[in-house]
Chain A
Amino acid sequence: MSVDLGAVLVNDPRGARVSPSPWRTGAGWDMFRALVARELKGRYKGSVVGFVWAVLVPLFMAGIYTVFLRILAGQRVAIERVLVGVFAWQYTAQCVQGGMLAVTSNANLVKKVLFPRMLLPASAVAAHLVQYLVSVVVQTVLLAALGGAEWSLRGWLAWPLVVAGLTALNLGLALILSAAHVHLRDTQHLVGVLLSAWFFVSPVMYDLEFASAVVQARPGWAPWLWLNPLMSLFTAARACLLKGAAYPWSWASAASLAWPAVILGVGVLVFRRAQRHFADLL
């Protein structure tokens, strides 16, 4: 029997705090790893092809968008660009939808065990990131087969930064939405609507050139394009990976790259404030 006091938990109206923090003892990382493993294992346990779905779904979508865009709009957006856009969009869309439920679907855990609540949306996003990276392998093979890939060192060095930016954005959104969903359960419906609107204003099945052409008829709209964080991220992703794609540097397009940091910062603040009342509302 030791007199070692170990962890000290202080719980007051500002919320519960444990010192030393689970991040310093490594327990936080163990939990994170276990939760990500649960997400990944649980997601595909019941399905036959398992992980293959992670790749098949965006592939089908890319095919559908390419075909219909050509038939309906008569626009010739290169298939490679649609591919990059759809794979990246799939990552964000899944983080938004899955991340939103990260806390509410773990109500039992949140009500009964004290652990850093941020691990829930974070592990959901991390699991989707793993899935995205797997689909990127397929994406690269396809791009190489189609001949649209650009193999430049600069591009492959900048690409992880784009993925990091996209992940920060997704995590920020997951934090905000998962906290909001505890307090207001109908955010689910609202988010569904907003997500489809976001899909159409983002360069998923089209690219910046296409959007610029549309905007050209209405001068003054152009800088507003960069208000969408996905405009800069997807354009940057294409610039890294595809032949003939470049990032059009301007103050607006550069500022747009700061979005992920802003959203993540807001997400962390919002989540911190909201998490005190999670157990009361679940």
Chain B
Amino acid sequence: MSGNGSTIPAIEAEGLGKRYRVRGIGPPTLFGRVRDAVRGHAPAEFWALRDATFAVPRGRTIGVIGPNGAGKSSLLGLVAGTITPTTGRVVARGRICSLLELGAGFHPDLTGLENIQLNGAVLGIPRDELRRRTDRIIEFSGLDRFIGEPVRHYSSGMYVRLAFAVAAEAEPDILLVDEVLAVGDVAFQLKCLDRIRRLQREGRTLLFVSHALQTVEEFCDEVWLLHGGRIVAQGEPAPTILRYIREYMGEGGPVYTQEFGTREAEMAEVRLEDERGVEAAVFETGRPMTVRIRWRAPRRIERPVFGYSIKTANGLYLHGSNTQIAGVEIPAIEGEGEVRLTFDPLRLMEGHYLLSLSFHSWDHARQFHRREDWYPFAVRNRTGALGLVALDARWTVGEERDGGAPQPPPVA
């Protein structure tokens, strides 16, 4: 990726920090300042980003992840130069364009074409260059029929398409992306991701903020984990994302989790593993996923039941089952041991999911240990198919032959 062997980093920061003063609700006013001064109110302070030192080599794609308020957007704003740091400094070499400003400066009364000219100029595309690229921009946006209409009449999706098209044509050396790909329809999202891949191939430097962890893992050479305004981890995508999921999303994290039970027997350690038996946070559609549950039972328990359920990140209950339903009877347990739950193939599609585990008696009367929405994980889909679940469907071309009725594959 780091093509030309240039040793000068594209982005360099030293002791970069940003402090905000919180002045209560509403915009600042002279009246308010005077009132605060009279009452002796000092504004509260907080550091959105603190002591960030880093260097991004040319041509590298960095994913920036972390919970809300971790300082991701401040970091991007500082690199873009729109936010003035409180401490330290950042140097960026090359033309910067941020996809965080999609449609910034669009004027609702101007036509799409007029807005292309305006936005292009504001993004620093030279005039003659912009004139040459206008056709490509219109083509990429797919809005040629509406380009003479005022953008006031555009839907929000059309608005974003036009804006992305202009930004993509700005051909930046450094591209800052802030969670903008969540908008637009699926087809356009794929088009955008495709364009981003092209920029990567061309050796551009990318800083990529996203909550879509599977996209981050797929696109980035390196991932930075931000928390509380600090860069707490920098490294390979998979382990850094795993750390984020474990430390900040699951137990005690921002996800609403619950744990209860009598604890007569409990789940001691749980690992989510991929097909190689390596602990992972991002799995792939159509490949196996295994959940290893180490249990502990101080007293003997007759006929226990292990159960699980999977929800999407926004709470849709997708599937749930247990050893009882599956006809796996466990006569009794005592001491320590392990059960494994394997999904092969994993039928979930791209997205974030929450796994719940439970451990209860045969008659469901006693709940030994239950962890609700406790284990988040992400799924990446490379099959090209769309939707929420991977169904076992097959195409048959030609006439149906006798005795050739397809056997339904076993369902987990």
A interface with B by C-beta (< 8 Å): 1, 3, 5-16, 18, 22, 25-27, 30-31, 33-35, 37-38, 41-42, 45-46, 106, 108-115, 183-187, 190, 276-277, 279-281
A-B pairs, 10 with minimum CB distance: A112-B101, A16-B81, A34-B121, A12-B89, A114-B81, A45-B109, A276-B84, A186-B29, A109-B105, A184-B30
Q: Give 11 A-B contacts (CB < 8 Å), ordered by A residue.
A: A6-B173, A12-B90, A13-B84, A13-B85, A41-B110, A42-B107, A113-B80, A113-B101, A113-B123, A115-B122, A183-B28
Residue of B31, B90, B124, B202 touching A11 (CB-CB under 8 A)? B90
CB of A118 to closest CB in B, whole Å: 14
User: 8 Å CB contacts to A: which residues of B19-47?
Assistant: 20, 27-31, 33
Please tell me if the beta carbons of B77 and A279 are within 8 angstroms of each other in the complex. Answer: yes
Please tell me if the beta carbons of B104 and A109 are within 8 angstroms of each other in the complex. Answer: yes
Please tell me if the beta carbons of B29 and A16 are within 8 angstroms of each other in the complex. Answer: no
Please tell me if the beta carbons of B28 and A185 are within 8 angstroms of each other in the complex. Answer: yes
**Residue B4 CB within 8 A of the other chain:** yes
Tell me which of B91-99, B141-149, B189-197, B273-281 binds A. Answer: B91-99
Residue of B4, B86, B127 touching A30 (CB-CB under 8 A)? B127
CB of B213 to closest CB in A, whole Å: 25
Question: Which of B33, B101, B150 is the most central at the interface, judged by chain A CB atoms within 10 Å of its CB?
Answer: B101
B interface with A by C-beta (< 8 Å): 3-4, 6, 8, 20, 27-31, 33, 77-96, 98, 100-101, 104-105, 107, 109-110, 114, 117-118, 120-124, 126-127, 150, 173, 202-203
Known: A41-B114, A280-B83. A10 touches B91 (CB 8 A): yes
CB of B174 to closest CB in A, whole Å: 9
Please tell me if the beta carbons of B118 and A34 are within 8 angstroms of each other in the complex. Answer: yes
Please tell me if the beta carbons of B96 and A114 are within 8 angstroms of each other in the complex. Answer: yes
Please tell me if the beta carbons of B105 and A5 are within 8 angstroms of each other in the complex. Answer: no
CB of A132 to closest CB in B, whole Å: 22
Please tell me if the beta carbons of A185 and B29 are within 8 angstroms of each other in the complex. Answer: yes
**Complex-state Cα separation, A277 to B21, whole angstroms:** 11
**Complex-state Cα separation, A9 to B91, whole angstroms:** 6
CB of A238 to closest CB in B, whole Å: 37
**Complex-state Cα separation, A27 to B82, whole angstroms:** 17
Please tell me if the beta carbons of B82 and A112 are within 8 angstroms of each other in the complex. Answer: yes
Known: A1-B203, A114-B96, A115-B124. A12 touches B88 (CB 8 A): yes
Query: In this complex, what residue of B is CB-closest to A28?
Result: B124
Please tell me if the beta carbons of B93 and A11 are within 8 angstroms of each other in the complex. Answer: no
Please tell me if the beta carbons of A34 and B95 are within 8 angstroms of each other in the complex. Answer: no
Chain B residues, Cβ within 8 Å of A112: 80, 82, 98, 100-101, 104
Query: In this complex, what residue of A is CB-closest to B99?
Result: A112
CB of A49 to closest CB in B, whole Å: 16
Please tell me if the beta carbons of A38 and B28 are within 8 angstroms of each other in the complex. Answer: no
**Complex-state Cα separation, A1 to B173, whole angstroms:** 10
Chain B residues, Cβ within 8 Å of A183: 28
Residue of A7, A106, A184, A277 touching B105 (CB-CB under 8 A)? A106
Please tell me if the beta carbons of A9 and B96 are within 8 angstroms of each other in the complex. Answer: yes
